Each structure stands twice: as C-alpha cells, then as structure tokens.
Amino acid sequence: MKTPSQERSPTFGREIDLLFLRLIEATAPYEDYKRELLKLERRWIQRAKTSAQRLAVQQIIAKTILTEAYGERMPWKEFGRWIRRLQQLGFRNLGMRIHVACLYVQSLHRFPRQARQAWDMLEDAEQRALRLRRDRPLRQEHLEAIAHAKKVARVPRPPPR
C-alpha cells in the first residue's frame, strides 16, 4: 500500500534528477537539456503558490542551465546569457553565488574580456564566505571551492584601475 507521500507527484529536485538521468541515458546535446529544463521551469512556475517559490524555481533552473553551458563549453552569447539571468534573479544562497562565480572565473580562457567582472564576482563571494563564522562547516567548503577556482583559472585577475 502506498503512503500519501508516495502518491504525491515528485518534488522539484527529484524531477530535475529524473530529467537528468533520462537526458544522460539519451546522450542528449546541450540544447535538449536547456529545452527540457525550461519546460520543467514553466510547469513548476505554474504550480508555485507564491512569488518566492517562482523565484526559487527560476534561480535553480538558471543555475542548472549555466552549469550545463559551462560543461559544454558554450560561447559567451549563451554562457553570458545565464550569468546575466542569475544576476537579475539574484542568488538563492551563498553556495549558489560561489558556484556561479567559480564557474565564471574558470571559464575566462574562453571569454577573457569578461575577466574583471568575473573576478569581481568571485571576490565578492569570497568576502561573503569570510564573513561566515569560523565554526560553520560550509565556510571552509566555500573557501576551498574559491581557492580551487583561483588555482585553475587560466586568466589572471586584471590589475586595479
């Protein structure tokens, strides 16, 4: 017998996971990921009861598409579109801000003209991480992610103006 929680439709996170499994098995190209994620976003925005829920869905989908764009080495026209989208929507939490900033800095070898903006974003994220209490477990994890991004970045930070 199914419990009431098993009868409900899958959660947003579970639905993204199932979508990814399906796309990975099909060895789908980036455009398919993007199209399917945007369809999922539309469906979940319709289900959302509050503007905060709608915003969360948009932020998560934009971050997920940006991550895919990074992995698929998309040109600035596509990658930059999702950076701008996330900047407009705002970041859901510090982890998302750091994830995006790290991807941005690590991708600069493909768009070196964006170096100042990317490094500024990473510096801002690092300052925010440093403001966390030292005993917070995520503080060290965030700082390690930032250190890694700095280490592997192929485009150095531009000198101050």
Mean confidence (pLDDT) of the chain? 93
Percent of the chain with pLDDT over 90: 91
State the pLDDT at residue 152. Answer: 97
State the pLDDT at residue 145. Answer: 98
Q: Does the pLDDT at position 6 exceed 70?
A: no
The domains of the chain are located at 11-92, 93-155
State the pLDDT at residue 160. Answer: 83
Three-state DSSP class for residue 38: helix
State the pLDDT at residue 131. Answer: 97
State the pLDDT at residue 1. Answer: 45
Give the predicted TM-score (pTM) of the model.
0.90
Q: What is the mean pLDDT of residues 130-144?
A: 96
Percent of the chain with pLDDT over 70: 94
- Is-contact 114 108, C-beta < 8 A? yes
Does residue 6 or residue 110 have the better pLDDT? 110
Q: What is the mean pLDDT of residues 93-116?
A: 97
Q: Which of 81, 80, 82, 87 is nearest to 111 (CA)?
A: 80
State the pLDDT at residue 8. Answer: 60
Q: What is the mean pLDDT of residues 112-116?
A: 97
State the pLDDT at residue 76. Answer: 97
Distances (CA, A) of 142 to 42, 51, 82, 126, 130: 31, 28, 22, 8, 9
Decide: residue 34, CB within 10 A, 0-12 exposed, 13-18 middle, 19+ buried: buried
